[in-house]
Amino acid sequence: MNNKIENFKAERDQYKNIVSRPIDAIRAKLEINERTAKGYAIVWGSKNDYGEIVLKGATQNSLNMRGVNTASGNPILVLNQHRQSEPLFRPTVLQEDDYGLYFEGEIVSGVSYANDVVNLKNAGVLRQLSYGFNYIWDKTEYDATLDAYILKEINLGEISLVTFSSDPNAQLRSFNEFQETSFLNTFSQEQIEELQNILRLRTAKQNPDKEEGKSNVTLF
């Protein structure tokens, strides 16, 4: 049992910020009308593709510290695609019930990316939810009968509206690939191009005999 948890922890600890696989709109009961969004970011007892089951009560300490009406300077927000630079709203309702973690809120207006989100949801593109969190390892157990990691408590960071392919084969992407995509989505195209230029210049300085400006570094 301990080895299962240790291996699980070693795999997850590769990533600074863990994100869940998206929950489909049916299970999440996601509704977006005009600029209002509501649904379930987490469904209790539902085993995900990483073999995790989140139990009711797992987010309550996070809600108490950084939920609705708390004075925390780091509140739980709803983001676009896990991008910290693109907050959509601070939930007006964020609570646990018997089904899962429920939220409601109004997507901000007057911001270009938020308006794009509204247009995308109207087109039926943004129809799934995900959430960013950190494990609390002394509250994590392995259940051999269920062959699942039971998360009794997590440190919830954010909830995100996300795009996910309707191709069922694409939804079988590995944890690593999904994490990499989520990480890259935190940067704009301009920031990625700037990073590429920096890496090219650094490579040129380290390898002056090579043709200037060329690099074997590939970010995609």
In angstroms, the CA 220 to CA 202 distance is 19
Tokens linked to 31: 């509704």
Beta strands in the chain (DSSP E): 18-19, 31-33, 36-43, 52-54, 77-80, 83-89, 93-96, 100-106, 128-135, 140-143, 148-151, 154-162
pLDDT at site 219: 42
Joined together, the tokens standing for residue 41 give: 């970011």
Q: What is the reported pLDDT for 172?
A: 35
What pLDDT, on a 0 to 100 scale, did the predictor assign at position 175?
Answer: 44
pLDDT for 37 equals: 92
At 195, is the secondary structure helix, strand, or coil?
A: helix
User: How would you write the pLDDT of the chain (220 residues) with one tens digit per residue?
Assistant: 578 899 888 888 877 678 888 888 888 998 888 889 999 999 999 988 788 999 999 999 999 999 998 888 899 999 999 999 999 999 999 999 999 999 999 999 999 999 999 888 888 788 889 999 999 999 999 999 999 999 999 999 999 999 874 434 333 344 445 556 656 666 677 777 788 888 888 888 777 665 544 444 444 3
What is the number of other CB atoms lying within 10 angstroms of the CB of residue 135?
Answer: 18
- pTM for this entry: 0.73
Q: What's the pLDDT at 48? A: 84
pLDDT confidence of residue 196: 82
Q: Is 94 in contact with 102 (CB distance < 8 Å)?
A: yes
**Of 117, 98, 142, which Cα lies nearest the Cα of 2?**
142
Q: pLDDT value at position 86?
A: 95
pLDDT score, position 181? 60
Backbone angles phi, psi at 140, to 5 degrees: -120, 130
- Nearest CA to 173 out of 21, 27, 8 is that of 21
CA 203 to chain centre: 33
CA nearest to 29, candidates 86, 92, 109, 98: 98
Which pLDDT value is given to residue 85?
Answer: 93
Please tell me the predicted confidence (pLDDT) of residue 104: 96
Contact indicator for 79, 88 with CB cutoff of 8 Å: yes
At 171 the pLDDT is 38
Structure tokens at 155: 């440190």
Which pLDDT belongs to residue 179? 55
* Six token digits for residue 188: 């704009």
**Residue 203 corresponds to which tokens in the numbers above?**
């490579």
